[in-house]
Structure 1
Amino acid sequence: MQFQYDNSFDIKEKIDNSKIAILPVGAVEAHGPHLPLGTDNLLAEQLSEKLAGRVNGYVLPTLPYGQVWSLRNFPGSINISNESLIRFLVDIGESLYHQGFTTFAMVNGHLGNGSALKEAARALYESCPEMRVFYFFYPGMNKAASEVRETQSAHNTYFHACEIETSYMLYLAPEYVDMDKTITDIPDIPDHADVTPTPWEEFTETAVLGDAKLATEGKGKYIVNIALENMVRLMNNQE
């Protein structure tokens, strides 16, 4: 169900029947030559739609900007601060709480948003004590990805415009993927990138961290469906 297409006269009764609000949170940033700048928005939106169908939830309008400090100097990237993102998420959560929602699930499509979502959830834990708050980023994906990937991950945490993320797009938003433009770029990411601020242009010119040519719809479907099952399980276990 799409929240923004309902009207004010009907919404109160509908919230009483479905007290779950799902917020897609994405970003606008470089994703190589084969994926659009809004890749993280598209993925978050499609994941949210699928999650809503499984838990009878409302999908809120997408929050389309994220913290993309690492890629902020690449053409097309739009960066906002963690502080701005946290405040936005807290304000949305508190508004939902006052409207009668009892569950707020943030479905994140961009790794860089993780810290802000966690801090926002902590703030809402204090200000909205009767509302369950979740922040999801493909739970269980690491194990699932290891079972289908054909190349070694460029980093133990990062994945970007690579075999894995391109596979997500081929499953969830294939019309926005240009496989004819896929490239292989497996950069040597320095150890210091994990312990000190490191703009990605120091180790990649493409923003691709892997072999996008190996992406398939089947890989994306396998990983995404495991992540969705885990989201549903986690939400149901907290009821």
Structure 2
Amino acid sequence: MQFQNENSFDIKEKIDHSKIAILPIGAVEAHGPHLPLGTDNLLAERLSEKLAERVNGFVLPTLPYGQVWSLRNFPGSIHIRNDSLIRFLVDIGKSLYHQGFTTFAMVNGHLGNGTALKESARALYETCPDMRVLYFFYPGMNKAAAEVRETQSSHNTYFHACEIETSYMLYLAPEYVDMDKAITDIPDIPADADVTPTPWEEFTASAVLGDAKLATEEKGKYIVNIALENMVHFFNSNSEQE
């Protein structure tokens, strides 16, 4: 159910029947020559829609901007600070709580938003004690990705516009992928990038971290569906604790 398409006269009764709100959160940033700037938004939206079907939830309008400090200097990237994002998410959560929602799930399409999601969830834990707050970033994807990838990951945490993320797009939003422009760019990411601020232009000119040409819809479907099953599991396990 798309929350923004409802009207004010009917929504109260509908919330009484489904007290789950799902917020897609993405970013606007460089994703190589074959994927759009809004890749993370598209992935978060499409995944949220699939999740909503399984848990009978409302999909909120997408929050389209994220913390993209590492890629902020690439053409097209739009960066907002963590503290700005945290305040925004907390305000949304409090408003949902006031409207009667008892579950607020944030579906993240951009790794860089992780800190803000966690901190906003902690703040809502203190201020909205009767509302469950969940934050998801493809739970279980690492194991699933390792089973299907044909190239070694460029980094133990980062994946970007590569074999994996391009496969997500081929499954969830194929109309926005131009595989004729897919490239192979496997940068040597310095070890100190994990311990000191490191803009990505220091090790990549494309923002691609891998071999995007190896992406397939089948790989994306396999990983995304495992992540989706895990999200539903967390919903159900949280419900059982109430």
Q: Give TM-score, length-normalised by structure 1.
A: 1.00
Asked if 1:160 corresponds to 2:160, the answer is yes
**Structure 2: distance between partners of 1:189 and 1:35:** 22
Q: Distance in 2 between matches of 1:217 and 1:15?
A: 35
Question: Which residue is equivalent to 1:12?
Answer: 12
How many angstroms apart in 1 are the aligned matches of 2:236 and 2:66? 28
Aligned equivalents of 1:122, 1:103: Cα separation in 2? 14
Distance 1:91 1:48 in 2: 20
Q: Return the offset for 1:140.
A: 0.1
Q: What is the aligned partner in structure 1 of residue 234 from structure 2?
A: 234
In 2, the alpha carbon distance for the partners of 1:114 and 1:22 equals 16
Q: CA offset at residue 111 of structure 1?
A: 0.1
Which structure 1 residue ranges, 4+ long, deviate > 3 Å from structure 2?
A: none
Deviation at 1:83, TM superposition (A): 0.3
For residue 238 of structure 1, give the secondary structure of its aligned residue in structure 2: helix
For residue 218 of structure 1, give the secondary structure of its aligned residue in structure 2.
Answer: helix
Match for residue 80 of structure 2?
80
Write the mapping of 1:30-179 to structure 2, written as runs, cut at 5 A.
30-179=30-179
Q: Which amino acid aligns with 2:119?
A: E
Cα deviation for residue 141 of structure 1 reads 0.0
Shift of 1:7: 0.2
Structure-1 residue corresponding to 2:213: 213
Whichever residue aligns with residue 89 of structure 1, its letter is L
Q: Report the equivalent of 2:195.
A: 195
How far apart, CA to CA, are the structure 1 residues paired with 2:160 and 2:152?
13
Instruction: Classify the secondary structure of the residue corresponding to 2:130.
Output: coil
What is the RMSD computed on CA atoms of the aligned residues?
A: 0.2
Q: Report the secondary structure of 2:160's partner residue.
A: coil
Report the residue type matching 1:226 in the other structure: I
Q: Percent identity?
A: 87
Q: One-letter code of the match for 1:124?
A: L
Superposed displacement of residue 162, structure 1: 0.0
What amino acid maps onto 1:196 in structure 2?
T
Secondary structure in structure 2 of the residue aligned to 1:46: helix
For residues 98-123 of structure 1, the C-alpha deviation after alignment (integer angstroms, 9 at most, x for no partner) is 00000000000000000000000000
Aligned length: 239
Distance 1:196 1:136 in 2: 26
**CA distance in 2: counterparts of 1:238 and 1:134, whole angstroms:** 9
Aligned residue type for 1:21: A
Q: Distance in 2 between matches of 1:187 and 1:235?
A: 38
Shift of 1:150: 0.2
Deviation at 1:151, TM superposition (A): 0.2
Within 2, Cα distance between the matches of 1:28 and 1:197?
Answer: 20
What is the one-letter code of the residue matched to 1:127?
A: T
Question: Structure 1: any 5+ residue segments left out of the alignment?
Answer: none
SS of residue paired to 1:224: helix
Distance 1:43 1:84 in 2: 22
Offset, 1:68: 0.1
Structure 2 gaps of 5+ residues are: none
